[in-house]
Each structure stands twice: as C-alpha cells, then as structure tokens.
C-alpha cells in the first residue's frame, strides 16, 4: 500500500470521527479513490450511510455515537489489512474491495 493511500484512509477515518457520520460498516467496495495527475485527492464513500438501528443515530448520546463510529473506523483498518494479506495468496478473495483498472485487479 502506498503512503498516499495510507494518508487518505487516515484522513477519511479522522473525518468520520470528527463529523460523527452515521453509517453502516465501512466496506472497501463502498469506498472510491478520487485521483488526479498528482495522486490521490480523497476517498469517497458511495454507500452505507445512515443507520439501521431502532434508536435514531441523532438521538443517541454523544459517547455512544463516538463508540459506534470508532468501531467502524477500526473495522476499515482491519479490512484493508485482511485484503492486503490475501493479495499474495493463490485463492482470489473476490472483486469486492479491489481496484479494477483496464479490466484487471
């Protein structure tokens, strides 16, 4: 993984925590990398926003919101590490979370 991508993931996670974005799990196939000639501009979450809980997110205590969001941030880091560990294995982990460019992952 490049340093640009590591930085972009960290910026996304800090933003998620700072803005207390209500979301389901941050799945890698729901995150798109926006790039320009100079490299990565930002990561954009394209799906999974909002919550499915009985209690609306906006009514939850701030402490509960932060705890839920921190769990999602921790999970995205784990998912990235899992994907990176699977890249060298003979069993293909599937297309979810992989960049498809010029018809190849």
User: Could you tell me which residues are beta bridge partners of residue 40?
Assistant: 35
> CB–CB of 72/26 below 8 Å?
yes
What pLDDT, on a 0 to 100 scale, did the predictor assign at position 1?
A: 83
Would you say residue 25 lies in a domain? yes
Number of structural domains the chain divides into? 1
d(CA 81, CA 78): 5
pTM tops 0.85, yes or no: no
User: What range does the domain containing 42 cover?
Assistant: 3-86
44 beta partners? 32
Give the per-residue pLDDT at 73: 96
What is the C-alpha separation between 42 and 8, in angstroms, rounded? 6
- Which of 62, 70, 77 has the alpha carbon at shortest distance from 28? 77
Contact 20, 69 (CB under 8 A): yes
**Considering Cα of 62, then 23, then 72, then 10, what sign does the dihedral take?**
negative
Write down the mean pLDDT value for the chain: 86
Report the share of the chain in percent with pLDDT over 90.
Answer: 59
Average pLDDT over residues 33-58: 90
Q: What pLDDT digit, counting tens, does each position of 51-84 carry?
A: 888 899 999 999 999 999 999 999 999 999 988 8
């Amino acid at each position: 993984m490049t340093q640009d991508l590591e930085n972009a993931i960290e910026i996304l996670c800090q933003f998620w925590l700072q803005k207390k974005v209500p979301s389901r799990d941050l799945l890698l196939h729901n995150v798109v990398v926006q790039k320009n000639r100079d490299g990565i501009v930002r990561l954009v979450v394209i799906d999974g926003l909002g919550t499915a809980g009985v209690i609306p997110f906006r009514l939850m205590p701030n402490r509960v919101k932060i705890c839920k969001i921190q769990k999602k941030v921790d999970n995205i880091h784990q998912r990235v590490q899992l994907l990176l560990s699977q890249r060298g294995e003979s069993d293909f982990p599937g297309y979810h979370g992989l960049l498809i460019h010029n018809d190849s992952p």
